[in-house]
Amino acid sequence: MTHAVTDRPSDAELIQTACRRVSGATLAVEGAEPTPVNVVHLFESQAFVLVPTDGDAMLLAGESADGVTAMVEITDCAPIDLRERVRSLIWLNGHLHPVPANLERDLALEIVSEHPDDGLLDIGHGYSMLRLQIDSAVIATASGAASVPAPELAGALPDPFWEYESDWIAHLDADHADVIGQLARKLPRQLRNGRVRPLGLDRFGIRFRIEGPGGDSDVRLPFPRPVNDVYELSQALRSLAGCPFMNSLPD
Q: Which neighbouring-strand residues pair with 111?
A: none
pLDDT at site 89: 97
Q: Is the pLDDT of residue 240 over 60?
A: yes
| pLDDT, tens digit (0-9, with 9 covering 90-100), for 148-169 | 999 999 999 999 999 999 999 9
Q: Which of 70-74, 177-181, 187-191 has the lowest mean pLDDT?
A: 187-191
How far does Cα 116 stand from its chain's mean position?
A: 14
Q: Average model confidence (pLDDT) for the chain?
A: 89
pLDDT at site 65: 78
219 vs 245, more confident: 219
Average the pLDDT over 28-35 and give the result.
90
Average the pLDDT over 4-27 and give the result.
88
pLDDT at site 95: 95
Q: Which domains does the chain have, with CATH numbers?
A: 11-154 (2.30.110.10), 165-241 (3.20.180.10)
How far does Cα 148 stand from its chain's mean position?
A: 15
Q: Is the pLDDT of residue 6 over 70?
A: no
Q: How confident is the model at residue 20 (pLDDT cuts 50, 70, 90)?
A: very high
Q: Which of 93-97, 156-160, 185-189 has the lowest mean pLDDT?
A: 185-189
pLDDT at site 7: 84
Query: What is the pTM assigned to this prediction?
Result: 0.89
Report the candidate in 236, 239, 187, 233 with the shortest Cα–Cα distance to residue 209: 187
Q: Is the pLDDT of residue 237 over 60?
A: yes
Q: Is the pLDDT of residue 1 over 50?
A: no
